[in-house]
Amino acid sequence: MNGDPVLDTQDARDQGLAPPALEPDGLGGRWLNVGLPKLLRDIAAFVFLPLIVGVIAVDVVGRYFFSHPFQWSQEIATLALLLLFVAAIPFTTASNGHVRTESLYEKYPPRMRALTDAVGALCGAVFMGVVGYWQLHELPGMKARGEGAEFIDVPYWPISLFVALCMLFGLVQLLLHALQRAREAMHPKGRP
């Protein structure tokens, strides 16, 4: 764990205070379950989030102290926010951090929880697959038309490619999670 006696308690995990646990031995191996999700999380936390904070700070200073708002600031902050959310999805998936209705879920027996998780993962995989497919489908036309931001010279196709790759990675994660949870539903612990 962390080596922190407070954060390593079950009470801390129940309250959401402990860092999320990743499963290096899950289906797909360490790189799929720990390495790449942590890398994308770090990019989100140390590149995109500071970029958003910096751009908004510069815009606030320009707007309120010099009466000169920057037209490009909202575009950069919006694109960086999109990239931040998309980059965080694989880590959230790997740490089983997606939202669910806990008040119902907690009352289910283990087999029903596993089945519910499998169905939820399949639904998420379908959504991510559709988003990833359409991003890749639109990518060549977007590049050919030279689509990009209005006030800054940033083409949209690299952003679209990043979104597609993160979605397809999430799709693989969710399919493996669905398979693992379906196995658990069919063969609960203690049974063959």
DSSP string, 11-64: HHHHTT-SPPP--TTSTTHHIIIIIHHHHHHHHIIIIIHHHHHHHHHHHHHHHH
**Alpha helix (H) residue ranges in the chain:** 10-14, 29-30, 36-43, 49-65, 71-94, 102-105, 110-145, 157-186
> Is 2 inside a domain boundary?
no
Q: Contact, 72 vs 152, CB < 8 A?
A: yes
**Number of folded domains in the chain?**
1
Mean pLDDT of 129-138: 94
- Domain membership of residue 175 (yes or no) is yes
Confidence of residue 43 (pLDDT cuts 50, 70, 90): very high
Q: How far apart are alpha carbons 183 and 177 in whole angstroms? A: 10
Residue 170 has pLDDT above 80, yes or no: yes
Identify the bridge partners of residue 148 per DSSP, sorted by sequence position. 155
Residue type, 18: A
Residue 165 structural domain: 24-186
Q: How far apart are CA 81 and CA 181, in angstroms?
A: 32
In a domain, residue 144? The reply is yes
Higher pLDDT, 111 or 43: 43
pLDDT of residue 192: 47
Which residue in 110, 42, 52 sits closest to 82, CA to CA?
52
In a domain, 147, yes or no: yes
pTM higher than 0.85 for the full model?
no
Burial of 102 from C-beta contacts in 10 A (0-12 / 13-18 / 19+): exposed
Is 4 among the domain residues?
Answer: no
Residue 66 contacts by C-beta under 8 Å, 6 or more apart in sequence? none
- C-alpha angle 32-87-2 in degrees, rounded to nearest 5: 60
Q: What is the pLDDT of residues 69-88, one digit of tens each?
A: 788 888 899 999 999 999 99
Is residue 139 in a domain?
Answer: yes
Structure letter (DSSP) for residue 189? T
Is 31 domain-assigned? yes
Structure tokens at 124: 């998420």
CA distance 186 to 173: 20
Domain membership flag for residue 16: no
